[in-house]
Structure 1
Amino acid sequence: MFTKKEYTLLELSCYYGAVDCFKFLRTEYHSKITEKCLKFSFLGGNPEIMSECLKYQKPDEKCMKYAIISHNIDFVAFLMNEYNISINLDYCINYNNLESYFVYYEQTNDINECFINSMRFNFPSLWEYFLSHGANINEKDKNGKTALHLATKINSKETAEFLISHGANINEKDQNGETALHIATWNNSIEIVEFLISHGVDINDKDKRGQTALHIAAWHNSKVIVEFLISHGAIINEKDQKGKTALHMVAWVDRKDSAEVLISHGAKVNEKDKDGQTALHIAAYKNMKGTAEHLISHGANINEKDKNGQTALHIAAYKNMKGTAEHLISHGANINEKDKNGQTALHIAAYKNMKGTAEHLISHGVNINEKDEEGQTALHIAIKYSHKEIAELLVSHGAGINEKDKNGQTAIHIASYKNNTEIAELLISHGVNINEKDKYGSTALHIAAYKLNEEIFELLLSHGAIIN
């Protein structure tokens, strides 16, 4: 259990309550009493060792924890009375120390706190005791949770039954706006979900994020709970604060089984969230090919645009999801569709340096010279961000090296501005017009001089750039 590097012999003597060893080490070797010695003495349970350690070290909450773990009520009372160290109810519950729990109650007389936390003891007569002495069954703890929330959290149907039979508010919310039903769904506890619904819990109640139990069940791929909630009146297209339905949730986490259930019961596959995204956009973003396929097969609009004008294909390109992009294209995605900036998926692949996706788009006939709102082609963008491999790919597949943007600039202007000699050499080797002027009358050489890019200035001169 221990190694020599972790603890001293004196500390181990305290841990095991070995008083003779403790005395020997102190007398013969003057071993130092450390903080661990004191803490371990409360675990070891030897009063003589503890008393000696207290002469050299001051007790803290950790000592109380160990006293509770050891179920030594004398030590617990001693720390409370002599050092004013409070009992932590969590320790009492976690280590099943009911005696210390009652000491806390006697000291604080906080009947509601003790009642709420007593749910974690499987002890109905204890609950009865607190209720009979005035505990409020709907009282909340510091997290806004009632006893019913806690009973649900520990997945205890018997406790939940007891509380509801004694008048617990089944729809009470905690500080996250969650009812017991939300918590039962998080726990994937179909038994408690069924029980709560049979006792009238509001199945469509929302938490602070605007999510119902159905959102949560969808997120967790709790197919059985999803089916049960729907069969008992859950609103299938209900939206949370971000405008997401349960179908958006399953797309985010690739829960194909739950997606099938939702769609078969009327979930709208083209419903949009506040970002204008459908479940298909999300499936593309997360590279959930299986879910994307299922959505498409059930009527998802493959070219639907979000608030940025992007389709699922734009998003697949942005995330370099080659497989998803291939799947979308094979099902009819418009490869040349533009977003609100006038960019196609190829522009985005060039911006993100996604060579594989760019290759795939080119192989399927994307317009390689399509221009965005700034008049830029994918080649302009690749050079702008110094993505040499993308630039090489585009040029090798026929990208117009003399195409101009709205400022009249060609690829060589941008390469000069970025002082990228490798890309400039690539363009020159493919016949770029080295003396082309932009709308301000500037050539690539003018730009190199203005930017003091000496290396590319010399390169341009050596290939015939006109200095005047």
Structure 2
Amino acid sequence: MNVKQVDELCIYCAICSHNNSFLNYVLEHDLYEDLYKTSLAEIIRMTPVFDSQNVGAVFLLYEKDKNIVFPWCAAFPQTYDIIKNDMILINTDTRFSKSPLHYAAIFNCAENCKLLLDNLVVNRIDINETDGNRRTALNYAVKYDSKEVAELLISYGADVNLCNKYSNILIDAITNENKEMVDLLVSNGADVNFIGDDGHFPLHQAVKVCSREIIKLLIEHGANVSAIYKSKGTMKTAIHFAVENLISEDNDKDIISKLKEIIEFLISNGADINAKVRNGTTPLHIAAKNLHKDAIEFLISHGADFNSSDDFGKTAFHYAVTEILNTSSFCKRINKSEGIKIRNSVVEIQNYAIDKNYLELIEFFVSHGADVNAKDCSGKSVLQIAKENYRNEIVQLLIAHGPEHYKNNL
């Protein structure tokens, strides 16, 4: 007869499947030799075990040895009496340094949380204790949308501005798009202009998740609409982030509409639509580089300066025309967006550009007064660039919409 030894997987499956009769048999007959070592505790800490909420298993383990269930038993609402009667065990250490407060917060066990908070001093409980990821109980309450626990922790003095390994508490709430949690935090002193380790401000994160309500809330509490994200050589304002979202190919009409409302709201609250960041890049430059006609028209209609040049002397018009003339880049863009294959042929590119009305984009710039003669740092105008690339249809279009002195650039 083949005899299989009871191992970690057996215990794990028994708990998750609520096979408590098997678990009880194993515990009564000491069939699991590793019971008092790290492995069982690590199995129990696995999220699926918590998610199964197998309270019966908790009590079986508690009857076997009460030390086994601390501190993770706080994840179960039914363990209130266990915690109350054996409060002395609540500071039992764990491999990942999670306290009972952490577990209560993750699983929104408000009564357990209050019981622990009422005994902070006598049991030397640190309300701002962090785990291996530098997360506090409040951090987890926010991360897992445990609003009732978050309110309790804040009322007992939890620090709303502590950073974790990845961001901070307020940014976690924004990432979850939880307006009520954001409101709770900022109303209790969360710094709306906090700069995360990755360089993001709360407002930038709100723009990235496309939440106008949270953006409004942050600005009402003093968020700086001109704050600049700086990280790894990249710089962006909230409007730069919004425009990057706007030109995404994955957007549907509702998202596009929301993003335009967000940009309008930012402008109405003092954001500069012509803000320059690294290399003098404006939001309009971003739209032009991506040949996004809708975004370009929208930005110009809201005051974007199409003649504003970056540190290389290039205007949005320079970037739009250069991108169309860049056969390799243009092919890649069209092949990706249209699902077709175009070779790096100037003639084929020219024909496709005309068919797809990219010339309309050039005409849009010219008709709105874009300076065809503006020269970049290499001394080249849009007209000269078009001529050097043998794009006669673009040259003629530029001349047709411009005064006689355009010819001086030919």
1:217 aligned partner: 141
Pick aligned residue for 1:323 from 240, 261, 264: 261
Pick aligned residue for 2:306 from 368, 376, 379: 368
What SS does the aligned partner of 2:128 have?
coil
2:112 aligned partner: 192
Pick aligned residue for 2:132 from 200, 205, 208: 208
Asked if 1:310 corresponds to 2:233, the answer is: no
Asked if 1:268 corresponds to 2:191, the answer is: yes
1:170 aligned partner: 91
TM-score, reference length from structure 2:
0.72
| 1:11-410 to 2 correspondences below 5 Å | 79-80=2-3, 88-93=10-15, 94-99=17-22, 102-103=25-26, 106-112=30-36, 116=41, 120=54, 122=56, 126-127=60-61, 129-131=63-65, 137=67, 147-158=69-80, 161=83, 165=86, 167-170=88-91, 172-175=93-96, 177-200=97-120, 201-242=125-166, 244-307=167-230, 308-320=234-246, 321-386=259-324, 388=358, 390-410=361-381
Q: Is the 8 A contact 2:55 2:78 kept in 1?
A: no
What SS does the aligned partner of 2:285 have?
helix
When residues 85 and 261 of structure 1 are mapped into structure 2, their CA distance, relative to the original with a 3 A threshold, is closer
Partners of 2:94 and 2:361 lie apart in 1 by: 54
* Structure of larger gyration radius: 1
Partners of 1:419 and 1:186 lie apart in 2 by: 64
How far the C-alpha of 1:238 sits from its partner, in A, is 1.3
Residue ranges of structure 1 left out of the alignment (5+ in a row): 1-77, 139-146, 437-464
How far the C-alpha of 1:234 sits from its partner, in A, is 0.8
When residues 336 and 171 of structure 1 are mapped into structure 2, their CA distance, relative to the original with a 3 A threshold, is farther
How far the C-alpha of 1:420 sits from its partner, in A, is 6.4
Q: Which amino acid aligns with 1:334?
A: D
Aligned residues: 343
What SS does the aligned partner of 1:112 have?
coil
User: CA deviation digits over 1:201-238, x for unaligned, max 9?
Assistant: 32212233322222233334433322211111111211
Q: Which amino acid aligns with 2:191?
A: K
Partners of 1:292 and 1:309 lie apart in 2 by: 20
What SS does the aligned partner of 2:112 have?
helix
What SS does the aligned partner of 1:319 have?
helix
1:427 aligned partner: 398
Q: Is the 8 A contact 1:326 1:360 kept in 2?
A: no
Residue ranges of structure 2 left out of the alignment (5+ in a row): 247-258, 325-329, 331-357
1:28 aligned partner: none
When residues 85 and 251 of structure 1 are mapped into structure 2, their CA distance, relative to the original with a 3 A threshold, is closer
What SS does the aligned partner of 1:260 have?
helix
How far the C-alpha of 1:325 sits from its partner, in A, is 0.7
1:459 aligned partner: none
Higher-RCO chain (CA-CA 8 Å, sequence separation at least 6): 2
When residues 395 and 236 of structure 1 are mapped into structure 2, their CA distance, relative to the original with a 3 A threshold, is same
Q: Is the 8 A contact 1:335 1:366 kept in 2?
A: yes
Q: Which amino acid aligns with 1:170?
A: N
TM-score, reference length from structure 1:
0.64
Q: Is the 8 A contact 2:387 2:395 kept in 1?
A: yes
When residues 287 and 128 of structure 1 are mapped into structure 2, their CA distance, relative to the original with a 3 A threshold, is closer
Q: Is the 8 A contact 1:115 1:130 kept in 2?
A: no
When residues 167 and 102 of structure 1 are mapped into structure 2, their CA distance, relative to the original with a 3 A threshold, is farther
Q: Is the 8 A contact 2:6 2:32 kept in 1?
A: no
How far the C-alpha of 1:193 sits from its partner, in A, is 2.3
Q: Is the 8 A contact 1:346 1:368 kept in 2?
A: yes
Q: Is the 8 A contact 2:18 2:57 kept in 1?
A: no
What is the Cα-based RMSD across aligned positions, in Å?
A: 3.3
Q: Is the 8 A contact 1:153 1:184 kept in 2?
A: yes
Partners of 2:264 and 2:182 lie apart in 1 by: 22
Partners of 1:392 and 1:430 lie apart in 2 by: 8
Q: Is the 8 A contact 1:186 1:217 kept in 2?
A: yes
Partners of 1:160 and 1:422 lie apart in 2 by: 82
Q: Which amino acid aligns with 2:64?
A: F
